[in-house]
Amino acid sequence: MIKVLVSANKKKINILGHADYDDYGKDIVCSSVSSITITTINAILMFDENYISYRQEKDNFEIIINENNKIVDNLLKNMLNMLHELATDYPKNIKIEEED
């Protein structure tokens, strides 16, 4: 299962795990999460490379929000909305949680 962990102060988002919908390379849920996440990060970085920082490892993606502003907030809100929709369609494969 993919877990999307959003920090309470909205300064960090971790995306962990594998959806286990299908094998690696064939998993449409993992592919969707990756596409949503990478598109959002690329959009933010087009405005300013200092707005966020990120770290990607196998089955672990971390986004650190360095500067909250309308652009960053709206793009991340859109990303989380799309991930929530995906979690509604695939509740056994993706879960979104807010951390303390």
Domain boundaries, the chain: 2-98
Reported as a single tens digit per residue, the pLDDT across 15-68 is 999 999 998 889 999 999 999 999 999 999 999 999 999 999 988 999 999 999
The domain 2-98: what is its CATH number? 3.30.70.1490
pTM: 0.92
**Residues 6 or more apart in contact with residue 4 via CB below 8 angstroms:** 13, 14, 15, 16, 33, 80, 83, 87, 94, 95, 96, 97
Reported as a single tens digit per residue, the pLDDT across 65-96 is 999 999 999 999 999 999 999 999 999 999 99
Give 9's pLDDT tier (boundaries 50, 70, 90).
confident
